[in-house]
Amino acid sequence: MPTITWEEPFCAEGANCFRLGTDADGNGYIAVLGAEDRYITDSLDALRNLIRDIKAGKADHLL
């Protein structure tokens, strides 16, 4: 398991919280708060776009 540096959680209105993280190789990670051992990983750009869509209300059903 890579060493992931997690950012502070982002919580939406419905108390859906997720965290973003990075590792030393520059990979991006996203996980639900409290379940950081079950994450998805992709490029930072792909995850950044996903988060922008979630914050814009386009993908809130994913949380």
The whole domain housing 34 covers: 5-55
**pLDDT computed for residue 9 by the predictor:** 87
Is residue 23 one of the residues assigned to a domain? yes
Is residue 14 one of the residues assigned to a domain? yes
Tell me the C-alpha distance between 49 and 61, whole Å. Answer: 16
Q: Where are the alpha helices (DSSP H) in 1-63?
A: 44-55
Is residue 62 one of the residues assigned to a domain? no
Tell me the C-alpha distance between 50 and 7, whole Å. Answer: 16
Question: Rounded mean pLDDT of 1-22?
Answer: 81
State the total domains in the chain.
1
Name the more confident of 25 and 60. 25
Q: Average pLDDT of the chain?
A: 78
Percentage of the chain exceeding pLDDT 70? 83
